Amino acid sequence: MRLKSIRFLFIAMLLFSLLGCNKAQAPAAAADSQPHQWWQDAVFYELYPRSFADSNNNGIGDLNGITSKLDYLKELGVDAIWISPCFPSPQVDFGYDVSDYENIDPMYGTLADFDTLASEAKKRGIHIILDFVVNHTSDQHKWFLDSKSSKTSEHRDWYIWRDGKGPAEPPNNWTSTFGGSAWKFDPTTNQYYYHYFYAAQPDLNWRNPAVENAMLDVTRWWYKHGVSGFRLDAVDTLFEDPNLKDNPLVGGKNAFGDPIENEIYNKKLPEIHDVMKKLRSAADESNAVLIGETWTKNIDELKEYYGKHNDELQMPMDFLFTTVDKLSPAAFREQIASVNASGGWPVYVLGNHDKARSYNRYGDGKNNDAIAKLMAGFYLTLRGSPIMYYGEEIGMENNDPKRKEDVKDPIGITAWPKEKGRDGERTPMQWDGSANAGFSTAKPWLPVPPSYKTHNVADELKDPNSVLSFYKEVLKARHTNQALINGSYTPLNENDQNVLSYLRAYKDQAVLVALNMSGTEQKVNLGMSQHGFSSTKPLATSGKSSVNGDEVTLEPFGVFIGELSK
Ligand code: GLC
């Protein structure tokens, strides 16, 4: 006990002196004093069901395919899977147009298949997170079909209907984020309905309490089916100004040729937070977690999503992190410091089904594997919960369509060639080097890129230097080392332009992380010996990165993650 407190004091002194001698500008984040909730220790993994694993060989992934890969995910170090929408849907936006919230699309299987997936996942300690499309439904949802049938129908006010401003003139100037006016005229009742996304995705009217009740009930229904939480889709656009004021134009046109607007009247309205609180209360009844698709302009906006009393989303995603699209230690330091200062639990992502793959975004074309390892060594060792994107762990690359006729994503079809759509980041998971990367014996719905021959699960599992082996090493360290699980975050050498380094410390344990974000070898002195540390046991290194006394040598884009000891 006494020895422990001396050691603790020692680490505290070390942190204090490191901060002092490095003239730290960014605040450190203290170690967590409260015991963690399950989702704070979890590594999340987003998978796109169409593209993960195809059990019935029709070219499209399915739930039984996911079940068959649970052992792989467990061994990788995944604790929770977020499945992009798998509910019945006309698939206009590949599932983000839901026509029944309480069922499974036959293309993906049945409710019984879901129950099997849930129970098999539970056996392995893997949580299931579903994607809840809260802003809109499909235009084929029975609520909308009834809504459009007459002005007096039961569900009329479940959506947003208005008269035009004049003949053939929509109610206001709002444009859809997927191109064109956000209003569609419906001749049955001679009114327009509002759709922030495609016309096939009418916005729900969250000002109607009946909508709110129905949607809260959907979450409770899935909690009973063993779901551990939701990723809430498109929360920013839940509410619109009831007076439908025109948005101010900021000048210029977007990829769809529409005037660019400042969306002050149809985005991020304060009423959103009342809904978040209600969804959270329902989640709390089941110890569930809410993850938010929260595209924010700054940390203050992100902070609001946690709720003033931490009573909204536990995990709003920090997309500002993904806007640091270059290997810049200074920009990353600043971003980490500001999210830590927000007081909420940080949620880091490198990519998802709407964003070009991190392998290409950060890669320089020559050292992409080393850079993929660098990014793994980085965001998986920060204080916060990471959300991986399927295939990132094997260095999957983006595979954008080359011709308009090959594009599947309607955004790409509408705005080609300015916008190629999101097919590139949604291609089939690369399981092995056989035809179609072992995803399916049928032609997959999207083509696999040629790199599947070198970047696939089966081959990378055999290679100790692969991207996959490195992910496994880092994830193992993350799950077993208390400093990485509960530790504080203290930035080191804050003026270094090439190496991002930091310390994670908890009680008498500490881990040093040093990441070379440059293409040249770097040697950094982190002055550990003056503070009583004589050795560092590597937990995960990439390249020939090593430590000698106080000096850490990092290969171009090399990573050193080591446990400090006396
Ligand atoms: C979210 C989804 C995106 C979808 C959109 C409309 O942004 O991530 O894929 O197209 O919502 O539901």
CA atoms of 530 and 267, how far apart (whole Å): 53
- Whether the CB of 494 sits within 6 Å of ligand 1: no
- Whether the CB of 231 sits within 6 Å of ligand 1: no
Residue 152 corresponds to which amino acid? T
CA 182 – ligand 1 centroid, Å: 15
CA 427 – ligand 1 centroid, Å: 17
Closest atom of ligand 1 relative to the 135 alpha carbon:
12
- Whether the CB of 100 sits within 6 Å of ligand 1: no
CA atoms of 17 and 512, how far apart (whole Å): 15
Closest atom of ligand 1 relative to the 96 alpha carbon:
12
CA atoms of 342 and 306, how far apart (whole Å): 9
By the 8 A CB rule, do 170 and 181 touch? yes
Nearest residue CA, atom 2 of ligand 1? 233
Closest atom of ligand 1 relative to the 97 alpha carbon:
12
- Whether the CB of 273 sits within 6 Å of ligand 1: no
CA atoms of 440 and 467, how far apart (whole Å): 23
CA atoms of 363 and 372, how far apart (whole Å): 7
Closest atom of ligand 1 relative to the 197 alpha carbon:
6
Sign of CA dihedral 224, 213, 301, 136: positive
CA atoms of 361 and 350, how far apart (whole Å): 9
Tokens found for residue 380: 């998986």
User: Which is the catalytic residue, given 102, 285, 463, 551?
Assistant: 285
- Whether the CB of 559 sits within 6 Å of ligand 1: no
Average pLDDT of adjacent 10-residue blocks, the chain of 566 residues: 40 42 52 89 98 98 98 98 98 98 98 98 98 98 98 98 96 97 98 98 98 98 98 98 98 97 98 98 98 96 96 97 94 96 96 98 98 98 98 98 97 94 98 98 98 98 98 98 95 95 91 97 84 80 89 96 89
What is the distance, to the nearest Å, from the Cα of residue 219 to the centroid of all Cα atoms in its chain? 20
pLDDT of residue 528: 72
pLDDT of residue 29: 81
What is the three-class DSSP state of 385?
Answer: strand
| pLDDT tens digits along 110-131 | 999 999 999 999 999 999 999 9
Count of CB atoms situated within 10 Å of the CB of 269:
17
CA 133 – ligand 1 centroid, Å: 8
Angle between helices 299-306 and 329-341 (to 10 degrees): 40
CA atoms within 13 A on the CB side of 518: 14
CA 463 – ligand 1 centroid, Å: 36
- Whether the CB of 96 sits within 6 Å of ligand 1: yes
- Whether the CB of 133 sits within 6 Å of ligand 1: yes
- Whether the CB of 244 sits within 6 Å of ligand 1: no
CA 344 – ligand 1 centroid, Å: 24
Which residue matches tokens 């916005």?
203
Task: Determine the longest span between alpha carbons in the chain, in angstroms.
Answer: 82
User: Which is the catalytic residue, given 233, 304, 409, 419?
Assistant: 233
CA atoms of 343 and 345, how far apart (whole Å): 7
240 part of the active site: no
Kindly provide the b/e burial profile for residues 490-522, where b requires at least 16 CB atoms within 10 angstroms of the residue's own CB.
Answer: bbbbbebebbbbbbbbbebbbbbbbbbbbeeeb
The alpha helices in 364-452, defined as continuous H runs, are: 368-379, 410-415
- Whether the CB of 235 sits within 6 Å of ligand 1: no
Among 509, 448, 546, which residue's Cα sits nearest to residue 59?
Answer: 448
CA 293 – ligand 1 centroid, Å: 9
The alpha helices in 108-201, defined as continuous H runs, are: 111-123, 142-149
Nearest residue CA, atom 12 of ligand 1? 96
CA atoms of 358 and 511, how far apart (whole Å): 25
E strand spans, 108-255: 127-133, 161-162, 183-186, 191-194, 229-233, 249-253
Tokens found for residue 79: 């604790």
**Sheet arrangement for strand 191-194:** 161-162, 191-194, 183-186
- Whether the CB of 98 sits within 6 Å of ligand 1: no
By the 8 A CB rule, do 178 and 135 touch? no
- Whether the CB of 97 sits within 6 Å of ligand 1: no
pLDDT of residue 563: 94
285 part of the active site: yes
CA 195 – ligand 1 centroid, Å: 13
